[in-house]
Amino acid sequence: MGWRKHLTREKVDQRLLKQEVRYDRESRMKNKRSENLDTLEEVFDRRTIMTVLRLLNTGKLKEIHGVIKSGKESRVYRGTDGEGGEVAIKIFLTTSAIFRQGRLKYLVGDQRFREIPHSTADIVDMWTLKEYKNLQLAQEAGINVPTPIAVEKNVLVLSFIGKDGKPAPLLRDVPLSSPTGWYKAILGIVKQLYRKAKLVHGDLSEYNIMVPNGYPVLIDFGQAVTTEHPQAQAFLERDIENLNHYFSQFKVKTVSPQEFVKRVAKA
């Protein structure tokens, strides 16, 4: 028993870290993994690096390439999964205080997440899991979203929307031949999301809709709430307002957000 007593959690942690680092150095010669980790190390804390290493070691991820988008609260990287398929890796920053303030209202009130943790890192993990679960629900309801492939702490692995490492354009960058058709199609998806997936996106705009091959794919589901959330209808109204704002520049005849909510949510 003797030596075991001295193996505190901290020491085990350190040992694991040493092993990982050694593994990392060895593999540096052999493949691209560690190159990728070098890039990550400049931005992320140790906890995040360990999480990415775990995904690499368990084969859920094979490679991480360059960054697609770097935001205040998350970074999205290109990469490949265990089978070599293209993926997007969304990593939430655990150090953002803004995160805590701004995002709590989308967690509190969601019946799936009754106990809100204290530490920011744990809240961010919960947020990451929430996006994963929302995407699962949307996909099960037959809605076009990235497939959630894996989730581990603050790291989310998604099917890649785009081709040959190039992400598909966002709605805002796509010229629309029939804006009214697009508007109606997107409202149809929002309705399906509400009725079938029982979700409200909560941050819907021309920035969170990708267009890979002529069809809209909704992304960015961290803040999405279930229709039971006390604010669900208010969030839905705001989503429609955002869409209306975007589409009114093309002279599309828009519906009133209140009217839409009444029709979709109260029928």
Ligand X SMILES: Nc1ncnc2c1ncn2[C@@H]1O[C@H](COP(=O)(O)OP(=O)(O)O)[C@@H](O)[C@H]1O
Least distance from ligand X to the Cβ atom of residue 219, Å: 5
Residue number, 23 or 207, with CB nearest to ligand X: 207
| Partner from Mg ion, ligand X, none binding residue 167, C-beta < 5-8 Å depending on class | ligand X
Let me know if 203 is a catalytic residue: yes
| Partner from ligand X, Mg ion, none binding residue 71, C-beta < 5-8 Å depending on class | ligand X
Binding site for ligand X (CB under 6 A): 68-69, 71, 74, 76, 88, 90, 146, 158, 160-162, 167, 170, 208, 219-220
67 CB contacts (<8 Å, ≥6 apart)? 39, 75, 76, 77, 78
Residue number, 205 or 254, with CB nearest to ligand X: 205
| Partner from Mg ion, ligand X, none binding residue 76, C-beta < 5-8 Å depending on class | ligand X
Least distance from ligand X to the Cβ atom of residue 131, Å: 8
How far is residue 18's CA from residue 180's CA, in Å, rounded to a whole number? Answer: 58
Cβ–Cβ < 8 Å for 166, 235:
no
Cβ–Cβ < 8 Å for 69, 76:
yes
Structure token digits, residue 189: 């998806």
Residue number, 146 or 257, with CB nearest to ligand X: 146
| Partner from Mg ion, ligand X, none binding residue 68, C-beta < 5-8 Å depending on class | ligand X
Helices (H), 31-95: 33-41, 46-57
Name the active-site residue from 81, 110, 125, 203. Answer: 203
Q: What is the three-class DSSP state of 143?
A: coil
How far is residue 30's CA from residue 109's CA, in Å, rounded to a whole number? Answer: 48
Q: Where are the beta strands (DSSP E) in 201-242?
A: 209-210, 217-218, 225-226
Residue number, 59 or 66, with CB nearest to ligand X: 66
Q: What is the three-class DSSP state of 61?
A: strand
- Residue 152 as a binder of Mg ion (CB under 5 A): the answer is no
Least distance from Mg ion to the Cβ atom of residue 35, Å: 27
Catalytic residues: 203, 220
